[in-house]
Structure 1
Amino acid sequence: MLGDPRTRELVELRSGLEVQAVELAALRVNDEALQRMRANLEAMQKSVDDLAAFGEADAASHREIAAASGNVVLEELLPSIPRPPWINSLASELFTRKFSSHAAALGYFDSVG
């Protein structure tokens, strides 16, 4: 499915759901989840030159935010929307953007909490 014209639409859908997950997680996150999110962010930063490790840390970050949203449907739905296979191959180009957006989410959690 990711090779067809709907790839862009899937990316847009997933992005919108991730924003919703961040907004809900900001209202419901606990200290333990925040610590795991910080650890995932640190792992992303340390593994920018290791695509597999970077991808896993990024995916773990998204799973943690979805779990912290407190919305089980959202938590189950997000992983069912596949990420394009090329997303992790762009780690070096996307790192600054992804790292900044993840850091901004943590800052948002801190400001709301």
Structure 2
Amino acid sequence: MTTSSASDGLSAALGGTIKSQTAMAEVTRRLLDYIASGAVAQGDRLPPERQLAELMGVGRSAVREALAALEILGIVTVRPGSGTYLSGGTSELLPQTLSWGLLLRSDKTRELIEVRHGLETQAATLAATRATDASRRLMAEHTATMEQSLDDFSTFVTADMLFHQELAAAADNVLLRDMLQSVRSLIRVWVERALNDAEHAKLTLEEHRAILAAIDARDGAAAGEAMTRHMRSAAQRLLPTLDSP
């Protein structure tokens, strides 16, 4: 394929200014359509953020957030200083999950929050008896980062999500891990909006400490109960943001 035809194909797939209030969701949808079309192969580098932003008429922050969501899903790999590459080997669940949840409408997001509650509770219950010492250390490190970042919400949210990713991996159930990975990515934009208060951050930290303590004690029932409390608390913070502009 010539450079000119490749550029024309890219413009056709991604071009056109995005006016949606949920620009990140629309950018993600277009990128997924572009990837699904077969225009890029596993290991190929995607166009740079600046070019993608210009093609879609959005700010680079929307492109960056979309690529971050795709990285969490395992679809792309972001290499600082090099670019973003198609990683391949994604979960077979992604097409079904993304097809209905990606636009992040409030009704679907409420359903995703309910689904996440059950999946996270099951993951915590399993992780309590299946987590390796290495996984426990990583969860403890992420909890420590949260404690050190109570006034840095961006770093706090990242450490929070890494904690949950490690917990899902520690449950040693690939299907459960992939389902949680998809759901968390789809509600990520709302999670970031919901955590904007120091008191909420402190409460979230205490909830994570309780989950970790139960996992360290290898008490599955206690871990499940601690996660249930955390999910209920998180939902109380998250749901009011869904209808806000």
Shift of 1:84: 4.7
Q: Which residue of 2 aligns with 1:104?
A: 210
Give runs of ≥4 in structure 1 deviating > 4 Å: none
AA paired with 1:26? A
Partner of 1:78: 180
TM-score normalised over the length of structure 2:
0.43
So what's the TM-score if we normalise by structure 1? 0.89
Higher relative contact order (CA 8 A, sep 6+): 1
1:44 is aligned to 2:151: no
Q: Which amino acid aligns with 1:71?
A: N
Q: Which has the larger radius of gyration?
A: 2
Give the aligned residue type for 1:112.
R
In 2: Cα distance, 1:3 partner to 1:110 partner = 37
Q: Which runs of 5+ in 1 are unaligned?
A: none
Contact 2:128 2:218 in 1 (8 A): yes
Q: Identity over the aligned pairs, expressed in percent?
A: 36
Match of 2:165 in 1: 63
User: How many residues are paired up?
Assistant: 113
From the two aligned structures, give the one with the greater helix fraction.
Answer: 1
Alpha-carbon offset, residue 34 of structure 1: 0.7
Matched, 1:87 2:191: yes
The one-letter code matched in structure 1 to 2:189 is P
2:143 touches 2:159 (CA, 8 Å); kept in 1? yes
1: CA distance, partners of 2:207 / 2:111: 20
Give secondary structure in 2 for the equivalent of 1:49.
coil
Aligned to 1:10: 112
